Amino acid sequence: MKKILIGITLATVMMLSVGFAAAGEQEYQTGDIIFQTTRGSLATVVATATQSKLTHVGMIIMKKNKPYVIESRNRGVKIRPLNKFTQAGFGKNFSVLRLKQGLSREQKLKLAKEARRHLGKKYDSKFRWDDKRLYCSELVYKAYLNALGIELNTTEKLGDFYSSWNPIVNAFVKRKYGNAKKLPLEEKAITPVRLYESNMLSLVYDNYPL
């Protein structure tokens, strides 16, 4: 009898866990912004320059009640399932933020359409502000701005992240621009942490350790 009860209890816990996971997925909405810590040399540069653990960002798009993420990464602007996105992050940790004022169905459609317009574009490792190539936070920022006229946060300048004493930043600048004199210091820029710090967004989910 004891074994039967234990079996029933475990089965119940498993069923509840699956239910909660499914419910958690359905809580996400098109337009939610998802942040994570990525691996690689570029992630190291971003973390060093911005002094933040948040090195990558994408936007959630719901399709048939399933969450997908549109993002710009090393292979360009693409869409992949949410679980594939989170599994690629360091420690599988991520945070999801949402516009405090909420989005109407029409706004969500416009936002998704604008983001999808950039599918296939290459990743911009030089962090230029034009639309020929896009980096991750630029894609999310411009999707909101162009589709809805919403500026999630004020932009910064590339020069704000340049440190002449920092060997990691210097090595990146030399590799991408040749030397610091060719770095467009006045070029507009938006970073993952800048989006995260927006007072227009509120936290929906976070599994980073304290």
pLDDT tens digits along 72-113? 999 999 999 999 999 999 999 999 999 999 999 999 999 999
Q: What pTM was computed for the model?
A: 0.87
Chain Cα centroid distance, residue 74: 13
Is the CA virtual torsion 63, 65, 71, 75 positive or negative? negative
Q: How many CA atoms lie within 13 A of 98 on its CB side?
A: 17
Q: Over 70: is that where the pLDDT of 15 sits?
A: no
Tally of structural domains, the chain: 1
Fill in the amino acid letter for 73: R
- CA-CA-CA-CA dihedral for 150, 32, 92, 38, to nearest 10: -20
DSSP E strand boundaries for 88-150: 94-99
Classify residue 14: in a domain, yes or no.
no
Class of residue 170 by CB neighbours under 10 A (exposed 0-12, middle 13-18, buried 19+): middle
How far lies 178's CA from each of 122, 165, 172, 184, in Å? 21, 17, 9, 12
Q: What is the pLDDT of residue 26?
A: 47
Average pLDDT, the chain: 89
Domain membership of residue 109 (yes or no) is: yes
Q: What pLDDT shows up at residue 202?
A: 98
- The rounded distance, in Å, linking the Cα atoms of 139 and 129 is 10
Could you tell me the CATH number of the domain that includes residue 76?
3.90.1720.10
Higher local confidence (pLDDT), 11 or 126: 126
For residue 21, being part of any structural domain is answered with no
Domain that holds residue 99: 29-206
pLDDT digit string, tens, across residues 161-189: 998 899 999 999 999 999 999 999 999 99
What pLDDT score was predicted for residue 164?
Answer: 87
For 114-156, write each residue's pLDDT tens digit: 999 999 999 999 999 999 999 999 999 999 999 999 999 999 9
